[in-house]
Structure formats: C-alpha cells, structure tokens
Structure 1
Amino acid sequence: MDRDLISERIRGWIEGHKDESTTLASNLVRIPSVNHPPNGNEFAYQLFFANRLRSMGAIVSVYELDSVPGLREHPAFMSGRNYANRPNVHGMFPSKRGGRSLVFSGHADTVYEGVEPWQDGPFNGTIRDGKLFGRGSYDMKGGMAAALEAVRCLNECGIPLNGTVYIESVVDEEHGGANGTLAGRLMGINPDMAIIPEPTNLVPYSGHLGGGIWKAEFSGKSGIGFNGEVLLSALDATVSFAMLLQKFKRRLNEHVEPHALWSHTDRGIDVVVLSILSGDTKRELQEKLPADGKLNFWIEGYPGMTERQIIGMLQEFYESELPNFPILEKCRPQLTPLIRYLSGSEMGAGEQTDRFLDSVKRAGTIALEREPAPPQGAPFACDGFMFNLYSPTPALVLGPSGANAHAADEHMDLDSYTKLIRWYAEIMVDWCGVGGE
C-alpha cells in the first residue's frame, strides 16, 4: 500500500472520530480505579477495558496475578499486596505475516483523588477548554485510550499490519507497585518493542529515573522541664533531618555524574520531603515537647543506581553533617523503606532499539507535522524497568500532554491526545509493516 495514502487515511479517520475518541477517554476517567495499598479497586475498569478490546476484535485474556507461575518467587516481586479481584487484561491483535511486534502497556490504577477541592470532580470526566479533567486523565488513562483508538483506526481504515500488536492494562503500578507489569512479562507477553503511554508531553523518553520512599522515625524525651529534666524534642530532630535532606540533594548532584539521557536539563536528581508528623496530631493545643517524629521522603536515582548505594551515600553524608545538626547526634532516625525501590532503566542499546527509535521519529514527524524532540530521560520513575531489566523487550515511554498529575484538577490536553493517536498509528505502520511489505 502507498505510504502517503496510508497516512492520509489515518489523518482523515482521526479527524472524523475526534468526538468518539474523546468520549472513550472520558469514559475511562469516569470509572474510578484508585489504588489503596495493599488493595485496589481496578476491577470495574478492567472489565470495561477487556470488553472494549473484544469489541475491536482482539483475543482477550483476563487473569489474576495470583495465577501467574513464578510471580511471587521472582526477585523483582514486591510482597505485601492483595490481588483479589484485581485482574490484568491482555489483548492481542495477531498477524501471521512475520512483521515486528509491539505492545502498548499501561496501568489501570490511579492515585487517590486527594483532599484538595476539584472544580469538576475527580471522576466526572469533564471536557472543558480543550482539556479532559479527572483523576487518571493525564496519568495514564488518556494514553491508554490513545492506544485503543490507534488500533481501531488501523482496523477501520483497512490497514493490515504485518506484525502482532498487543495492548495490556495492568494493575498496581502506583505506590511502588509494578507487580502487574512483571506478571505480563511472566505470562509471555514479550514482543520486539514496548510503548508505555505515561504522560510525556509528546516527548519520547528512552529511559526513566528510579526512586524510593523511606520513613525516618525519631524518638525523643517528652515533657516540660519543671524539675530540670533533660528533654529531647523529636520534632526538632525531624525538622533538622528535613534540612539535612535538602543539603544532601545538593551533595548528590555534585558527586553523581549526570546521565547522558538527562543532559538536556539541569534538573538533576531530586530529594523531596513528602510529609512530617510529630506529637499528638489529634490535639490542636500541645503542652509539651513531642516525643516522636516521622518524616517520609523520596530520593531519585539514575539508571544503574541502587537503593543500597543511595542509602549508603545518605548515611555517610548524615555522619559528616552532625557538627551542623547536633540534635541528630542525640536523636538518630530509624529508616524504613515504604515502597520497593523503583529502579531507573533505559532501553537496551543495539540495532533493534535504533531501528525502533528511527520508526518513532519518522512516525512522529508525520503525526506532529514537525520533527519530534530527540529521545531523552523521563523526569519520573515508572514501571519501565520491568521491561528493560527483566524481559527481552525494550520499553519507550511516550504519552500525551497535560498537567496536575497526582493533584487536583488533573487534566489531559485533547489536541495532544489526537496527535498521540495519530503518532501511535503511524508507529505501528512503520514498525510492524503493512500489507505484506
């Protein structure tokens, strides 16, 4: 088939189906699928997704994670989660023409709606001002809707692919999960390449950061010194540790060589204090020094950095800073990981990865009507490491534009969504081949 004619068919179909495509993304947002570790309520969303795949002619598998052989024994498995009524969904659009294969892999779960007020509500799927609002619209139901629509576009345009395409919707990616993504690999879904439709603002990310969340707990001596008692404020120690973490961020970025995929930015590795609690949080009026303090924090790492390495650097820095934070000599933290360390990763180097990235560039030039940004490193952690480190399938992260991920009034830009559908369709044509070519 003529390549220009194929692209024109794709463009025409997308222009003629904008409203339907937007409705699909809105409908996905309207189905709450919030992750509440150790549980999650992805079930209704996954059934909808499976039915959508069936309506498109896919061979669909819906399976429970506890049925996956070797999952709980795998070294990358994270324990402590309940997977009852939380199935993975896998759809296959087979081809016997021998072309290259591709999987679109995304997570069904979202973070919770939060306590901040929403203008339109977190699960209304409101369409306003060229945007789709709602929890998961940007992270990452919009991207998954784009994958569904791109395959539907090719089907309805009568464009037969030479290679097999898969779309999988996995559970439990948020909050350090990724067991659902690992399950897909152990189920044998390991095609030539993968695309993860996380929100990237239409920038291809060939690598992503790692990161982990830890809890620091402090124990002091409470009371009021009426009789000369020696007291120790756990709150002062907790605040001092928060200040130390900010200094550690500077030290980390001074001593860790920036990875080449992040050379486009001076952002560096981030260290973030997520929460501080101290004393009796149920009482507004406190009459004594708090005896306890808790602080949760996040530290990132480049591909190749390990949890042991990062915590070792933090502990070494802690000891060196005690002259500047003397209370931390008397009141030391107990550190506990709250999630698995999400390893940073990048697509494996080689001819196949180079060919795929060339396909992505060619397809993006058609879809965006300009040359896309070059592949670079994502400023976030994700489940891509389950592909890049634990399967033969390299994973590219590519998704829509938007804002407010994990916050109130999360939204996806609908113009980027339309462009992404076109980009995905063009990638499949270029990578998998068409009509016996």
Structure 2
Amino acid sequence: MTSHAALSDAIRSSEDELVSLTERLVEAKSVTGNERPAQRVVADYLEALDLEPDVWEPDPESLRDHEAAFETSSFAEYGYEGRPNVATRLEGGDGRTLTVGGHVDVVDVTAAEWEREPWTVTREGDTLYGRGVADMKGGIAAVLIAIEAIREVGIDLGGDLLFQSVIEEEDGGVGGTLSALERGYVPDAAIIAEPFDVPNLCIASAGVMYFRVTVPGKSAHAAWGHEGVNAIGNAATVYEALEDLDAERKARIDYPPAYRADPSLEGNVTNLNVGTIEAGDWPSTVPSEAVLQGRIGWPPGESRLEVREQIESVLESVAAADDWLAANPPEIEWFGWQAEPHETATDAEIVRTAASNAEAVTGETGTFVGGNAGLDERFFELYYDAPAVSVGPVGHNLHGADEHTTVESLLEASETIAHSIVDYLGTTD
C-alpha cells in the first residue's frame, strides 16, 4: 500500500476522533482575547501524541519594532498575559521544513441569532454547526488528525514538520503567527487550514486597515444653534465623501481570485466601511465633535501607504470645500489592523503540491481563490520568504449565526494536508 493510501485509510478511520476533537475545541470557548481554554485542548492532544508542546505568551516588546507589527485591538484591551500560543516540532531528516496549523481564536456570537447552541457542536447528518467548526477549529482538528496519521503509518519525514496553534488571527495575528515566526518557527513553506472549500486553495489575503476620523464642530445651546457648528453635519459630509471613494474604488479595482469561489464579490473586491459614529451628549446641545471609525479592505495591488493617501486626500478635499473645516480640518488616526495584502505565486512548489493532492483526494477540480480577507499567511510570504497556501474545509456563515462545515470536507482537508506534508518534505528513505 502506498503512503498516500495508508494515510487516507488512517484518517478515514479517525472520523469519530476528528469530530470529537472539533467538539472539544468548540466547547473550549476561545473568543479573541481569551484563547487559553482551546490552547489547553491543543497542548493536551499533542502530549497524547507523545509530542512536546511549546507553550508561550507573546512578548510585545520583542515584536514592537518588526515591520509587520501593530498594536492589535485585543492587545490594547487584554494584553498578552494568559493568551498562549502552542507549537511543536516533529523532527525529520536534514531536508527542508514545513509549517502546518492555524489559529484557535474565534469571533464572539450574538446568541439570539443562532438556531442552535453556538458553543457546542450540533451534528445534523454530515453537517457540523457551532462557532469555529469552520473558522477554524475544525481545520486545527484536521491538521492534528493528519499528523497523528503520519505517526500511525510510521512515515519518517525527510525534514522537520512544524505545527502551530496561534492566537488573535481575527485581530491581526501579531501576537500569534508573527510571534511564532520570531520565536524561531520559520519554515520553507506553510499550509494553513483556513476554510476555503478544498479543492479550492487560497493564495492571497486582503490588506486591512482600521481608521478613526475626528470631525470638529463648535458647541452651543440649541436655542442659539446658529452660533455653533454641528459636528454631526460635518461628519455626514465626511461619510458621504468616503462612500463616494468606496464606489470609485469598487468600479476601478478588480481581482478575480476574490470572486471565483463567491460570485457575489465581483465588483466588491474592495470595501470601505464606516462602522461606528459617536457624537454629542445632550439633545439641546450642538455637538462639538463627532468620531467615525472604519475599516478598509483591498486585494493585492496597492500598498498600505497608497490606500492611506487616498483616504487622507478625500478628507483634505472635504475640508477645502468648507470654510469651517478648512480652518478646523478633520484628523485621522490609523489604529488596530494595519496589514498589507499578499499573494503567493501559483507555481510555488507548495501550492502545486497542495493543488495536486486536493484534486486527487476530492476527485474535483479546484481553483485559486482569496484576496478578500486578512490572513496570517501574509507573514510567511511577505516577511520570511516562505510561500503559504490555505487548504481547509468548506465554511458557511463564518462570523455569523449557525456557522457550519461538513465532516466530509474536514476529512478531505486532513487527507490533502497529510499527503502534501509527505510530498513536500519527502521521507528519509
């Protein structure tokens, strides 16, 4: 029996364990900022495989000067104490190295929107429901089952296999994947089990930035409102200008991988969203300040600097068209997510290896997708010269109510990853 066939048999026979591990991870509630419960599950599983987990909390000082670093919102709120990463090294021959794994943090839920219990797995036929079953605790489980199968079959890899389970990917990944890379877990290539519906492979991530615009006004009693300047009105002008910029960018920017898997994204591969606005403290007072917070996301093709300049230019134009704002211009602050987009070449060996195995395992033809969401894969590609590809299960309602995946796609992802590990690293014989 070939190693691929033996691995597939071992993984298929572990279906119950794959589902059980996914259940334990989902039940270990690990919203970004409180990842420890799920990391305990991961570390315990590694120890059960006779692998020594490396468990550490990120050191913000050691990361601060890295060109990819920024202060994440979760770090600003929680710090990194009590938020460990987990990694291990399966030593192989003297060949190249490969990282596999992903993130263990998930976004929170609005329980009233769910038809099922979000913090436990509900199985209905082949479908699994629960927060994180797809994004991406199911993927973590699929990777661990793949590693277990390699050990069960007795394959001696030709190079080191690195596994990582990291924190705060949903908030930018600085304390997670970047911390792991800076700790020394730098591979020649990486496979991350994000849910992009194997045999599709994700080869790109979006640039993502958060911004805060403070728009001035002048306070006054509403009965003498003519003596004041309403910051809400000025903020509305700023909002409309940003909406116009969003429409112009949507019409101008195209990136086919972003809508190959989701046709609704055609014409929407970049998005500028104002998510919050705060102003005023009393109905009879003209507000003196309004604060808008927003996010802009965009596919490969523009740098952070270029996108920032576009937004700042819009604010300058708004100010120039108004006498009050010309003398009291809006101020912009860039905070939280500040990620560059990335794209991995489709002819990179790890991409070709994963694509071949994905199609062989599923019996279907896949495509290359991505570029509409921020991903940790950018750290490998942009800053450590390590091509990274996402191979993961199908995912529906990610970040929404009744998130779900399928057992079959988790098994297919696990098989694809196991086969790709062996093909990329080779064996000692």
**TM-score (structure 1 length as normaliser):** 0.85
Instruction: Confirm or deny: 8 A CA contact 1:92 1:167 kept in the other structure.
Output: yes
Identify the match of residue 140 of structure 2 among 137, 144, 163.
Answer: 144
User: In structure 1, what is the equivalent of residue 313 of structure 2?
Assistant: 316
- Do the aligned partners of residues 410 and 325 (structure 1) sit closer, same or farther apart at CA in structure 2, a change above 3 Å counting? farther
User: In structure 2, what is the equivalent of residue 358 of structure 1?
Assistant: 352
1:62 corresponds to 2:58: no
Deviation at 1:435, TM superposition (A): 5.8
User: In structure 2, what is the equivalent of residue 430 of structure 1?
Assistant: 423
- Do the aligned partners of residues 295 and 414 (structure 1) sit closer, same or farther apart at CA in structure 2, a change above 3 Å counting? farther
Read off the aligned partner of 1:148 and give its amino acid letter: L
Deviation at 1:148, TM superposition (A): 0.5
Instruction: Output the CA distance in 1 between the equivalents of 2:385 and 2:349.
Output: 16
Read off the aligned partner of 2:18 and give its amino acid letter: S
Deviation at 1:49, TM superposition (A): 0.8
Instruction: Output the CA distance in 2 between the equivalents of 1:197 and 1:393.
Output: 16
SS of 1:341 mapped into structure 2: strand
Deviations 1:37-93 (A, max 9, x none): xxx222232222112112123232112322x99434433333473221222211122
Instruction: Confirm or deny: 8 A CA contact 1:347 1:395 kept in the other structure.
Output: yes
Instruction: Confirm or deny: 8 A CA contact 2:31 2:108 kept in the other structure.
Output: yes
| Bigger helix fraction | 2
User: In structure 1, what is the equivalent of residue 245 of structure 2?
Assistant: 248
Instruction: Output the CA distance in 2 between the equivalents of 1:158 and 1:254.
Output: 54
Percent of residue pairs identical:
27
SS of 1:112 mapped into structure 2: coil
Deviations 1:87-123 (A, max 9, x none): 2211122112x44431113122222234653223331
**TM-score (structure 2 length as normaliser):** 0.87
Instruction: Confirm or deny: 8 A CA contact 2:393 2:405 kept in the other structure.
Output: yes
Instruction: Confirm or deny: 8 A CA contact 1:348 1:388 kept in the other structure.
Output: no
Instruction: Confirm or deny: 8 A CA contact 1:342 1:383 kept in the other structure.
Output: no
User: In structure 1, what is the equivalent of residue 263 of structure 2?
Assistant: none
Deviations 1:224-255 (A, max 9, x none): 54346333332233333222222101222455
1:219 corresponds to 2:212: no
Identify the match of residue 171 of structure 1 among 167, 170, 181.
Answer: 167
Read off the aligned partner of 2:46 and give its amino acid letter: L
User: In structure 1, what is the equivalent of residue 361 of structure 2?
Assistant: 367
Instruction: Confirm or deny: 8 A CA contact 1:106 1:197 kept in the other structure.
Output: yes
SS of 1:163 mapped into structure 2: coil
Instruction: Confirm or deny: 8 A CA contact 1:62 1:89 kept in the other structure.
Output: yes
User: In structure 2, what is the equivalent of residue 42 of structure 1?
Assistant: 35
User: In structure 2, what is the equivalent of residue 270 of structure 1?
Assistant: 271
Instruction: Confirm or deny: 8 A CA contact 2:299 2:372 kept in the other structure.
Output: no
Q: Any gaps of 5 or more consecutive residues in structure 2?
A: 261-265
Instruction: Output the CA distance in 2 between the equivalents of 1:89 and 1:313.
Output: 39
Give the 5 Å matches for 1:342-353: 342-347=339-344
Instruction: Confirm or deny: 8 A CA contact 2:203 2:345 kept in the other structure.
Output: no
- Bigger mean CA offset, 53-62 vs 420-429: 53-62
SS of 1:138 mapped into structure 2: coil
Read off the aligned partner of 1:44 and give its amino acid letter: P
1:385 corresponds to 2:382: no
User: In structure 1, what is the equivalent of residue 68 of structure 2?
Assistant: 76
Instruction: Confirm or deny: 8 A CA contact 1:234 1:331 kept in the other structure.
Output: no
Instruction: Output the CA distance in 2 between the equivalents of 1:129 and 1:279.
Output: 52
- Bigger mean CA offset, 219-228 vs 207-216: 219-228
Root mean square deviation of aligned Cα: 2.9
User: In structure 2, what is the equivalent of residue 127 of structure 1?
Assistant: 123
For these two proteins, the number of residue pairs brought into alignment is 418
